[in-house]
Amino acid sequence: MVKKSIFAVAILLLMVILSCSSSSDSAAEEVPTPVTNWQQSLCNSNATAETRQVFQILCNLYTKKSIAGTVANVDWNIREAENVYQWTGRYPAINVFDFINIHASKDVNPSGWLDYSDDTVVRQWWQHGGLVGCMWHWQTLANNGSNYTCSPGTNPGETSFDPACIDNPTSADYKRLIKDIDQVAGYLKKMQQAGIPVIWRPLHEASGNTYEFNGGKAWFWWGAKGAEVYKKLWRFLYDRLVNHHGLNNLIWVWNSQMGDKSWYPGDDVVDIVGRDSYYALQYPLMKEYKQLQAEYPNKIITLAECGNGDEVNMSLWSKIWQQGSRWSWFMTWYDAAYNEGNTDEHQFAGPNWWNDAFATGLVVDRNEMRALLGK
C-alpha cells in the first residue's frame, strides 16, 4: 500500500513537471495579442474619398499583413522599387518620394537640375496600383551662404535656421519657411487634383538621439529648439497645408525616436505613428513595436524606415513578423552604391531579404494593392 502511494505521488509530480515545462515553452513562443482599437478615421474630416479609401485599407490590413515599401533614391524616381522587381518579380506596394531638393527645382530656379513640378513618375506609380508616400528632408541655406543642409549648428556647413521663427512673421527665417511650405504645397496640390492620396511624413526623427544617451541631440533643424517648439511647428505646418492650402489628400505620419512622447503633436493632427529603425536583430524591433503600441493604442504603428549596415546579420522579415512585430508597412532605405552600378555592394535589404518577405504570404505587393484599390 505504501509503495503504491509513493508510486502515485511520483507519477503526479512527473505530470506537474511536464505540465509546467509545456506551459513555459508555449509562453516563450506566444505572440502577443495585437491591439485592435486603433483610430479608423482620419484627423482631417474633409479628407478626399481616395484618401479615406487608402486609410481604410491600411486599417483593414493592420496586424494581419504588412505592406512592402521602398524610398526614392533622393528625389523623383522608383529605382529601389525596380531593384525589388528585378530580384523578386514583384513591386513593393508603396514608393516614398523625398522633397529634399526643392531648392534646385526648375520651376523655381531656372538653373535647377530637376523638376519637381513634373510628377509623371508619381502619377504612373499610382495608376499602376501603388500607394504614394512623401517625406521631406527640409534643407535650408547653410551658414556658408552657398550649400543647403538639414543639420543644425553654427559651422559653415550647418544651418542656424530657427524653427521658432513661426512666432516672428517679420523675420527672414519665417518668410523662407512660408516660401518652402507653399512650394511643397503646390506639388501636393497637383497630386490632389489627380486624385492621388499621399502618405505624408514630414519633420521626421525630430528628437534625434536625445533620449538614447547623455549628450544626444536633434539631428535636424526642426528639432533643434526642443519639444515645445517642434510641436508648435508641426501644428503650424498642418494648419498651413490643410486649412490654408486646402490639402485634403494627406495621411499624416509622425515619427517617434522612442522615449520622446513629449514631442508628440497630438491625436488631432496625427493619423499614424512611425518608427525608423536600422537594428540588425529582430528583438529590438519587437520591443519597440510593443512600446509604441502601448503608448499610442489608438494609432496604427508603422516601420517608416528600416535597413541595416550589414545585410548578412539583418533579420529576415519572416522572423520579425513571427516574433510579434505587426508594423503596418516597412520601407527599406535606398542603396546609393547599388543603384549606381556597384552591384556587389548592397548595404540594406537585398535579394534574399526581399524574397523571404514575399515568401511569407504576409507582405502586400503592388498587384495586391491594386486589387484592394479596385483598379
Enzyme catalytic residues? 205, 305
Q: How far is residue 221's CA from residue 265's CA, in Å, rounded to a whole number?
A: 17
Q: Which residue has the cell 514630414?
A: 202
Q: First vs last Cα of the chain: how many Å apart?
A: 78
In our burial notation (b when 16+ CB lie closer than 10 A, e otherwise), range 229-265 reads bbbbbbebbbebbbeebebbbbbbbbbbbbebeebbb
Q: Which residue has the cell 533579420?
A: 315
Would you say 74 and 97 are in contact if contact means Cβ atoms under 8 Å apart?
no
Gap between the Cα atoms of 235 and 252, Å rounded = 11
Q: What are phi and psi of 78, to 5 degrees?
A: -125, 35
Distances, alpha carbon 14 to alpha carbons 1, 3, 18, 331, 344, in Å: 20, 17, 6, 50, 56
| Residues across the chain | 375
CA distance 320 to 277: 13
- Cβ-contact 84, 354 below 8 angstroms: yes
10 Å CB burial of residue 295 (0-12, 13-18, 19+) is middle
How far, in Å, are 50, 238, 269, 299 from residue 41 at the CA level? 13, 17, 12, 10
Contact by Cβ (8 Å): 39, 298:
yes
Residue type at 49? A
